[in-house]
Amino acid sequence: MTRKSKKIYFDYAATTPVDPRVIKVMLPYLGKKFGNTMSIHSFGQDAKIALEKSREQVADLIGAKVNEIIFTSSATESNNLALKGVAFANKNKGKHIIISQIEHPCIIESSNWLEKQGFKITRLPVDKYGLVSPLDVKKAIRKDTILVSIMHANNEIGTIEPIEKIGKICRQKKVYFHTDAAQSFGKIPIDVNKMNIDLLAASSHKMYGPKGAACLFVREGVKIEPLLHGGGQEMGLRGSTVNVPAIVGFARACEICEKEMEKESRRLTKLGNKLIKNVLKIENSHLNGHPTKRLFNNANFWFSFIEGESLIIQLDLLGIAVSTGSACSSMKLEPSSVLLAIGLKPQEAHGSLRISLGRWTKEKDIDYFLKVLPKIIKKLREISPYGK
Ligand SMILES: Cc1ncc(COP(=O)(O)O)c(C=O)c1O
């Protein structure tokens, strides 16, 4: 097995390269159009116009109103703002929040922190595919519940949650519904009105935009406190000089995703299905997550008698970049909490591999991967301390 001269990137769920079309629209704002959106002079006004046009483009992708988009620096920040901001603005109504066990660490840790401040957190379990049951959400809602936060698509196993049903329940029960859409935004259709979403987090660097730009959709009328107090930017919900170049890039990335969504989803579904079908031909290999209710660009497997890290290193030696789980948790030695929540044993969770495809994935990349993977697995199993 020889290293490919060109590297293959299969970790689009961790982050994506910036599309050259995005870089092109950003450059003027890194150069001559450098103004501060809060300045009255023409430099400031040019920046302000670009900011408001960007807000329109981002809102468009999810059917939101322009004044419902708050720009932030990351989905981590958006999720912190959603949970803590809603918690503190509504604490007189109640102090109970519902999340799922498979949320991204930024939701889990924000909830843990809120718990220390006296809020009550219910962490709903998921089934073997990673699905949250809408009925469980309904049963968990109490008189003092102020917020339900269930992610749209899981970052490790790609399972798409029934958020439209959950949104409907929350609306009936008059409880705010927040969804972390960092992985689904720009990939699959989202309509915040049809889905009864009150708050939604998304991130530019997951969809071919630059790092450092993200948004929180906050439905008109939702009571929320800012985390960053300052000069009144972002409708008073996020003080900070606005990162115009990154936001302009984020907005262009949204525009491209919207235009190319259908075609790209068809193309990557085909490649993803080929990948899954053939990887499962390897003895003792298993798919994690739902077989059909999943993001088309995500495939997560576990292989008996194998350690995921060894597999990643072997693939990396051949120029193929994959991951074991979320980029945020892959530096930890503990098994993924998402995989444990869907019922895997710690040893099984350690044998997992996430492959996420994207805009520059070609069929020949999949073919090369399918050619080398069985050989690597065979080699690793021969020296595996786990048995076989
Ligand atoms: C589902 C989900 N939520 C939140 C985040 C955090 O996003 P960011 O890197 O923009 O902070 C990620 C990133 O991995 C994610 O996948």
Domain 8-16+261-383 has CATH 3.90.1150.10: yes
pLDDT tens-place string over residues 314-363: 999 999 999 986 444 455 568 899 999 999 999 899 889 999 999 999 99
| Residue 331 φ/ψ region, left for φ over 0, alpha for ψ in the -120 to 50 degree band, beta for the rest | alpha
Write the pLDDT tens digit of every residue in 160-183: 999 999 999 999 999 999 999 999
106 lines ligand 1 (CB under 6 A): yes
Question: Is the CB of 376 inside a 6 Å radius of any atom of ligand 1?
Answer: no
| Sequence-separated (6 or more) residues with CB below 8 Å from residue 270 | none
Q: Report the pLDDT averaged over residues 42-50.
A: 98
User: Which of 4-13, 123-132, 210-219 has the lowest average pLDDT?
Assistant: 4-13
Kindly state the average pLDDT of the residues 111-116: 98
d(CA 308, CA 301): 10
Q: pTM of the prediction? A: 0.96
Q: Where do we find the tokens 């020296």? A: 383
Domain 20-256 class in CATH: alpha beta
d(CA 1, ligand 1 centre) in Å = 34
**pLDDT, greater one: 6 or 321:** 321
Centre of ligand 1 to C-alpha 306, Å, is: 27
Pocket test for ligand 1, best of 106, 211, 330 (most atoms within 8 A of CB): 106
Give buried/exposed letters for 189-220 (b at 16+ CB in 10 A, else e). ebebeebbbbbbbbbbbbbbbbbbbbbbbbbe
Predicted local distance difference test score (pLDDT) of residue 335 = 87
- 218: confidence class by pLDDT, cuts 50, 70, 90: very high
Find the 11 Cα to ligand 1 centroid distance in Å: 13
What pLDDT band is residue 383 in, cutting at 50, 70 and 90?
A: confident
With H, G, I as helix, E, B as strand and everything else as coil, classify residue 236. helix
Q: Give the C-alpha separation, 1 to 120, whole Å.
A: 54
Q: Nearest residue CA, atom 14 of ligand 1? A: 14
pLDDT at 8: 98
Catalytic residue flag (residue 328): yes
State the average pLDDT over residues 51-59.
98
Ranges of each domain in the chain? 8-16+261-383, 20-256
CB 115 within 8 A of CB 98: no
pLDDT of residue 327: 47
Q: According to the model, what pLDDT value does residue 384 have? A: 78
pLDDT-wise least confident of 124-128, 282-286, 366-370, 382-386 = 382-386
For residue 332, what pLDDT is reported?
59
